[in-house]
Amino acid sequence: MRLIVRVVVVVMCTWGIISQAMAAPPRAILTGPTGGVPGDILVLDASESAADFYAWSVTPQLPGGRPTILVLEEGRKCLVASVPGVYHVFLACSTAEGIDQAQWTLTIGDEPNPTPVPPAPNPPTPTPPAPAPDTVPDGVFRIAKLAFDLAQLVDSANRVGQAHALADAADAVAASIAAGTLKKPQEILRAILAANNAALGTAMLAWTPWGTSIGLKLQELYKAGRLAQTGDWAVCLREIAIGLRAVK
């Protein structure tokens, strides 16, 4: 008899605990954002609710039959369309013991204004490049720059090529002087004239002013006693070649 009583008591106590658990009322609990901007993913979460069933509704509805909310995860979550406006979302939770409700308001603003970008500062006024220094050295006789400047004035379509050909001619005569082939001033002058004619051909006429001016400079140097040695002539001709090769 005592055993039966104990069993009955245990069963009744256990049933009482189960009954109390089953009798717990539903609780609707919502969490989530309260606002956003178009394009945001806005999800309301009812996972912390005490419920067996969930029902969602929203006001106002989007026009044209477009869905305003989308229920997810068997009702435990709800996705709200991120269209500008103020939306009131309602959640109803139920168990065998009843129904509970919760409300949530979301405000969807317009597109955020882009952060204004300050205007770029005005670029500094470019400083004109300083004139390039003379690329033609003065040399011993200061004739290289003269040869260059005079060549720049020659009116010829192939001025650069012709200037370089004259430079080769001047170097060739200087080499002959250094080799001892040419010794006297008259021989050197004849060699210069012949080399120039060979280098220019029919373009000799266009270079006549250049040749005349260079000839006068050589005469000036000779009278000043600066071309007294054959080696001086070789150096002078190499300087002329340097000036001619600087023509671009």
Query: Model confidence over 43-100: pLDDT tens digits?
Result: 999 999 999 889 998 989 888 888 899 898 989 999 898 899 999 999 988 888 878 8
- pTM of the full predicted structure? 0.48
Over 60: is that where the pLDDT of 35 sits?
yes
Query: Model confidence over 2-29: pLDDT tens digits?
Result: 443 343 333 333 334 334 444 578 899 9
What's the CATH fold of domain 35-108?
Answer: Immunoglobulin-like (2.60.40)
Average pLDDT, the chain: 83
Query: Model confidence over 175-196: pLDDT tens digits?
Result: 999 999 998 988 998 999 899 9
* Predicted local distance difference test score (pLDDT) of residue 107: 93
Distance between first and last Cα of the chain = 129
* Predicted local distance difference test score (pLDDT) of residue 115: 61
Work out the percent of the chain whose per-residue pLDDT is above 70. Answer: 81
Residue 221 to residue 234: CA distance in whole angstroms: 13
β-pairing, 35-36 vs 69-72, is: unpaired
Over 70: is that where the pLDDT of 116 sits?
no
> In sequence order, which residues have a C-beta less than 8 Å from that of residue 218 and are 6 or more positions away?
189, 227, 236
